[in-house]
Amino acid sequence: MTFPYRIGRGDTWERIALRYGLPVSEWFRVSRELRERQGLYGQRQVSAGRKAVQPAYSSYVLKAGDTIDGVAQRFGLEGAELLEVNPGIHHRHLRIGQTIVLPQVHEIMQAEGEGYGYAALVSQLKRLQRDYPFLETGSVGRTVLGQTIPYIRIGSGSREVHYNGAFHANEWMTSLLLMQFVESYAAAWRNGDKIAGRDARRLAEESSLWIVPMVNPDGVDLSLHGVASGHPYYERLLAWNGGSADFSGWKANIRGVDLNDQFPAYWETERDRRDVAGPGPRDYTGASPLSEPEAAAMAAFTASRDFRLVMAFHTQGREIYWNYRDYEPGESAAMAQRLEELSGYRAVKLTGSDAGYKDWFIREYRKPGFTIEAGFGVNPLPVEQLGSIYRELLPLLVEGLLL
């Protein structure tokens, strides 16, 4: 799996590779096609604003009878590619139990200035279904505009856990984060490898992880692409956005309702606190709890499972919210402390906030629920932060399956 990188002033291919701890030769190999398309091949100095491609890796443990060419064929690679990214390995001297690197060069190709929208998510889901047939995919419901809200299930164990992202439209970085984790976890499971120090196959045997990576597809696409004149909400959206065609700050769904203020957990208190009279980019709680199909779908989906815990991923602030009006179970504080130790994020006992998904889950089921505010900066976070955010949160994402 790869992600776009926006080239900054003064960047060279060598500097970009070093920034991500990658071999320069591998960066060149993965991004060669894109650079040729942009007319940049062979240049050491590159133009600010262009896109390169950041490679990602998984690993494979060699087994009896494995050969470089055999492993390469299994994963759709060339033997020379494996040798290039594993310089310490000779094809005549392989050892059983030796771990080799597998370059994953699938690209999420995006136009200049785009983030990670619904089309990219659907495309990636199709590829995951092909590459990892043991994954279960489906839909928890539909959006206002009729788009499906996909889920992915990893594992078949009795401990059920749920993660979700992109409740808020301009927080689409959380969808990327969760899909990166899906791919890393699936690759580790397939290869019999570890993820964050844990045996992936054992995790999958003991737990079932249900991920809804993009709760708010309509809003995400609006935030990324704006609205065209043929859109059914065109005039209303422009009015709700103060006449501006810039929707990059939009958090709500397509009807101007904040989906994370929609849940029946002191909803009236949150409505009065927000004091937002009608639809807009953020903070309008809607006419009633669960009035929006996306929120209603998430509530019904949650009620249909027996989740041990849930994590709702948002941006930004590098904080973990773990409580709700003392409805949380006694173990929640210790869990939050553990997650803080693993991620470096600050565990915060939050007050003055109601009607969120995590709040409702804690109140309704008296089980642990967490809101993870990923990264730091101004929303929407730049996609260049994905690598650092993922490294911070990978241990936390795995630990959630064990708590």
pLDDT value of position 67: 86
Q: Give SS3 for 9.
A: coil
Instruction: Report the CATH number of the 1-54 domain.
Output: 3.10.350.10
Cα separation, 164 vs 28, in Å, equals 34
Higher pLDDT, 58 or 173: 173
Lowest mean pLDDT of 58-67, 131-140, 284-293, 361-370, name the range.
58-67
Cβ atoms of 104 and 188 closer than 8 Å: no
Highest mean pLDDT among 15-19, 60-64, 323-327: 323-327
Cα–Cα distance between 106 and 27 in angstroms, integer? 13
Per-residue confidence (pLDDT) for residue 12, from 0 to 100: 56
Backbone angles phi, psi at 185, to 5 degrees: -65, -45
Q: Do domains 62-99 and 115-403 have the same CATH topology?
A: no
For the chain, domain boundaries: 1-54, 62-99, 115-403
Q: DSSP string spanning 186-221?
A: HHHHHHT-EETTEEHHHHHHHEEEEEES-S-HHHHH
pLDDT of residue 110 exceeding 50: no
| Minimum mean pLDDT range among 10-14, 38-42, 316-320 | 38-42
How high is the pLDDT of residue 69? Answer: 82
CATH C-level class of 115-403: alpha beta
The superfamily CATH assigns to domain 62-99 is LysM domain (3.10.350.10)
Q: Give pLDDT tens digits for 19-64.
A: 444 544 455 555 554 445 444 444 434 444 444 444 445 567 788 8
Residues tagged active-site: 373
Mean pLDDT across the stretch 331-336?
98
Contact between 154 and 185 under an 8 Å Cβ cutoff? The reply is yes
